């Protein structure tokens, strides 16, 4: 009998979302049960279909229900039939902002057996944790347009950065860095150009860093960091950065660790004021949707991040071990498996550890 | 006797700047002479030393003199002894903005013989031209700070995008795409989040694109583009993008083509209202300054970009051919040469073609 029940909102979303989430739930269920955790899911149909039917991206009643859950598990949102930005801003970013997911946690790890596009790079070279700010910066939605459609049109886009917002995510990053073997934190910004925001980030890292003397602090301009992700990824341990820079460098992180099919993420409210949300970094991939071709691994790994957040790290480690073993044999056999088969195999590998 | 004289302002700047510029001038001189072009240089001592001595980054009198030149050749600016941003904003960006360098042209080419950090990638896979906007976007310097040093501090950073500014750089990019074999142009932005600026860029590309039916147009979010630079660089031919996105992706471009030591750039005012400026993408590298260790190739290639701009493309091609040949033998011999030796070898290779 389960000692504890987690109320989990499931948002399969668009495209391959429902396929990968189904496998994620399968693996999550097995791992959770081993630690007496019951997962009580409620599915919400949000995304392109709902928008076409009702014009809504996140009805207030749904938002209110989501808020009562312990966590959210999201597949992917986005469809070519919906104008760019509508679902991203109206659903995905709205959840991140409304539920104050100020930490967007993105591990960048090269698993043994996975081929990196980088020559001569192995698992020992890439093991970082990117802590991306999730609730401000250029994602604030501030800005506007004047004289639209005329030769004198001007469009602005404002990055909003607060001490409150920067300090809390920087502190989170230091906490993470302090318990990792290398104890290194790199701030990524562009303080020689974005001087107002950059100075705030630099000063905050310096001040908060004084509380963590065991953590060594480094700084890298975002352009240099983008380059180093490719030619010196071993430089990085924990990286803390702004919302937009984090968006960009974590996609490079996904690329160097074998692609977006393996990249997991957690949109976390560390204070637990609101439910945190876990999702793969990849999108809805409408071109391969419904064909059983999607790799559910990123979604499965996002469930591990969820279990860490829910305080069941042993279960998270088992999922990671299952993924690690699966990726190793995958490299050897080269057999093509369907989304469901990969999910089944991962669930079986977690079960073996029980 | 030279049929034409080019007045060239030379700004060696800081760190390795003077070393690489000396070699660049050497090679430029040989190539130019072959086409009856005399290069009449005037050197300006700007950078960290001047700033320490006078507190000035670009005295008005110097700015006025620079304006009368035909082109500017810059080594690098920046020194650890100067606060971040002072020289970048006060000198480099000021020149780009004051002289309306609205095109920041950055070829991303993998030369034969150069090792890319990407496995299994050859010269045929990477040959793009990034057209980065150079006079607006997040580089405008707009923004500010409220309640500095308090828990309620807020720092903003505003991206300014005008139809005027976007249209002219987009048109330049289409012109370039139209004469390349693949005739493809990719807009890189983040229109699903930066909706105001993104929509302006998208609409402008669509409208200007109607004048270039032979050019196929693609769009890529900046995060996806950053990933594709690493795992599908062959996707790109001409890329047009905003100032900040261009800064980031061209450093990835440098990384995948063998590093920042080879990446050239031109800050161009296509209307010739002001002198254009040519510089390597790399910085001043104070750690290796004065030791003859810097690779002058990026600076030499920037001279080729200059010759293209000055209307002597045959001379530019000779420099590129010299670099190409040098990089090929470099891969074979593996011998370490000094900055001067590389410059001498390149000059000799250009001379051979005369
Ligand atoms: C879909 C998009 C709004 C989102 C972002 O920009 O954050 C995505 O790219 C991500 O990284 O989660
Ligand atoms: C030095 C810095 C201001 C500059 C920029 O951000 O443009 C540099 O990174 C570049 O790419 O030329």
First and final CA of chain A: distance in angstroms? 15
Round to whole Å and give the CA distance between B199 and B197. 6
Contacts of residue A184, defined as CB under 8 A and 6 or more positions apart, other chains included, come to A177, A215, A216, A217, A218, A236, A237, A238
**Across the interface, which of B78, B117, B158 has its CB nearest the CB of A156?**
B158
Q: How far is CA A170 from the centre of its chain?
A: 17
Average pLDDT rounded to a whole number, residues B77-92 = 94
In 3-state terms, what secondary structure has residue A249? Answer: helix
Q: Which residues pair with A37 in a beta bridge?
A: A4
A207 touches chain B (CB under 8 A): no
Contact A118 B116 (CB under 8 A): no
- Decide if B122 touches A, using CB distance below 8 A: no
**Mean per-residue pLDDT, B23-49:** 97
Residue B124: CB atoms within 10 A of its CB come to 9
| Residue A2 clears pLDDT 70, i.e. is over it | no
A65 in contact with B, Cβ within 8 Å: no
Q: Considering only A86-90, A94-98, A244-248, A259-263, which range has the smallest mean pLDDT?
A: A259-263
Q: Flag whether pLDDT at B187 surpasses 90.
A: yes
Which pLDDT value is given to residue B331? 82
Contact A162 B145 (CB under 8 A): no
C-alpha A13 to ligand 1 mean position (Å): 14
Rounded to the nearest angstrom, the distance between the alpha carbon of B39 and the centre of ligand 1 is 50
**Would the pLDDT of A221 be above 90?**
yes
pLDDT for the residue numbered B2 = 67
Interface check for A218 against chain B (CB to CB < 8 A): the answer is no
Query: What's the CA gap between B24 and B9, in Å, rounded?
Result: 13
Tokens linked to A293: 């071709």
Task: State mean pLDDT over A27-52.
Answer: 97
Give me chain B's average pLDDT, please: 97
| Ligand 1 within 6 A of CB of A92 | yes
Query: Measured between alpha carbons, how far is A277 from A60 in angstroms, rounded to an integer?
Result: 18
pLDDT in tens, B256-284: 999 888 999 999 999 999 999 999 999 99
Q: β-pairing, B154-162 with A154-162? A: antiparallel
Contact B252 A227 (CB under 8 A): yes
Q: Is B230 on the interface with A (CB under 8 A)?
A: yes
Q: Report the run of H or E that residue B127 belongs to, with start and end.
A: strand B127-133
pLDDT tens digits along B290-303: 999 999 999 999 99
| Residue (of A306, A253, A294, A323) closest to A109 by Cα position | A253
**pLDDT bracket for residue A334 (50, 70, 90):** confident
> Do the Cβ atoms of A155 and B138 come within 8 Å?
no
User: How much is the average pLDDT of B168-173?
Assistant: 98
Question: Which residues lie closer than 8 Å to B187 by C-beta, 6 or more apart?
Answer: B201, B202, B205, B217, B218, B219, B220, B239, B240, B241
pLDDT digits (tens, 9 = 90+) for A45-86: 999 999 999 999 999 999 999 999 999 999 999 999 999 899
Task: Give residues with Cβ within 8 angstroms of B260, minimum separation 6.
Answer: A227, B251, B254, B280, B281, B282, B298
Structure confidence at residue A192 (pLDDT)? 94
Per the confidence metrics, is the pTM higher than 0.95? yes
A264 to chain B, closest Cα gap in Å: 15
> Of the bound ligands, which one is closest to the alpha carbon of residue B92?
2
Which atom of ligand 2 is the closest one to the Cα of B246? 11
User: Best of A57, A246, A247 to mutate for ligand 1, by most ligand atoms within 8 A of CB?
Assistant: A247
Residue B90's pLDDT is what? 96
Domains of chain B: 1-109+258-354 (3.40.718.10), 116-252 (3.40.718.10)
CA atoms within 13 A on the CB side of B287: 1
Distance, CA of B72 to CA of B39 (rounded, Å): 12
Mean of the pLDDT values across residues A204-210?
Answer: 98
More confident residue, A31 or B334: A31
How confident is the model over B50-63, as a mean pLDDT?
97
Contact: A260, B154; criterion CB under 8 Å: no
- Segment among A283-297, A321-335, B117-131, B151-165 with least mean pLDDT: A321-335
* Nearest residue on chain A to B119, alpha-carbon basis: A119
Catalytic residues of B: 139, 190, 223, 247, 251
Is B192 part of the contact surface with chain A (CB cutoff 8 Å)?
yes
Whether the CB of B23 sits within 6 Å of ligand 2: no
Q: Using a CB-CB distance cutoff of 8 angstroms, which residues of chain B are in contact with residue A231?
A: 117, 255, 259
pLDDT above 90 for A191:
yes
As a whole-number percent, the residues of chain A with pLDDT over 90 amount to 96
Dist CA A88 CA A95 (whole Å): 10
Is the CB–ligand 1 distance for residue B2 below 6 Å?
no
Is any ligand 1 atom within 6 A of the Cβ of residue B227?
Answer: no
Please give the Cα distance from B278 to B297 (Å, whole number).
13
C-beta of B247 in contact with ligand 2 (< 6 A)? yes
pLDDT at A1 over 80: no
Q: Report the separation in Å between the CA atom of A176 and the middle of ligand 2, taken as the mean of its atom positions.
A: 31
């Amino acid at each position: 009998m389960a000692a504890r029940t987690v109320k989990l909102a499931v948002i399969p979303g668009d495209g391959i979302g429902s396929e990968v989430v189904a496998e994620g739930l399968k693996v999550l269920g097995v791992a959770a049960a081993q630690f007496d955790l019951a997962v009580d899911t409620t599915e919400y149909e949000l995304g392109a279909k709902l928008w076409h039917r009702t014009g809504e991206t996140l009805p207030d009643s749904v938002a209110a229900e989501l808020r009562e859950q312990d966590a959210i598990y999201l597949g992917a949102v986005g469809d070519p039939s919906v104008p760019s930005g509508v679902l991203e801003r109206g659903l995905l970013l709205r959840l991140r902002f409304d539920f104050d997911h100020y930490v967007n946690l993105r591990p960048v790890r090269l698993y043994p057996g996975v081929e990196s596009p980088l020559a001569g790079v192995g698992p020992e070279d890439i093991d970082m944790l990117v802590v991306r700010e999730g609730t401000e910066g250029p994602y604030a939605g501030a800005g506007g347009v004047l004289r639209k459609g005329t030769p004198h049109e001007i469009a602005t886009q404002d990055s909003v950065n607060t001490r409150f917002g920067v300090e809390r995510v920087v502190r989170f990053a230091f906490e993470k860095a302090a318990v990792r073997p290398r104890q290194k934190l790199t701030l990524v910004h562009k303080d020689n150009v974005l001087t107002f925001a950059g100075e705030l980030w630099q000063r905050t890292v310096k001040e908060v860093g004084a509380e963590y003397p065991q953590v060594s602090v480094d700084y890298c301009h975002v352009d240099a960091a983008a380059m180093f992700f490719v030619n010196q990824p071993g430089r990085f341990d924990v990286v803390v950065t702004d919302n937009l820079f984090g968006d960009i460098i974590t996609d490079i992180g996904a690329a160097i660790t074998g692609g977006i099919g393996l990249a997991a993420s957690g949109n976390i409210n560390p204070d637990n004021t609101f439910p945190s949300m876990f999702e793969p970094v990849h999108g809805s991939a409408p071109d391969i949707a419904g064909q059983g071709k999607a790799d559910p691994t990123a979604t499965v790994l996002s469930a591990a991040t969820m279990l860490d957040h829910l305080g069941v790290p042993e279960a998270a480690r088992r999922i990671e071990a299952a993924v690690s073993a699966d990726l190793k044999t995958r490299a050897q056999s080269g057999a093509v498996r369907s989304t469901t088969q990969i999910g089944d195999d991962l669930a079986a590998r977690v079960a073996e550890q029980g």
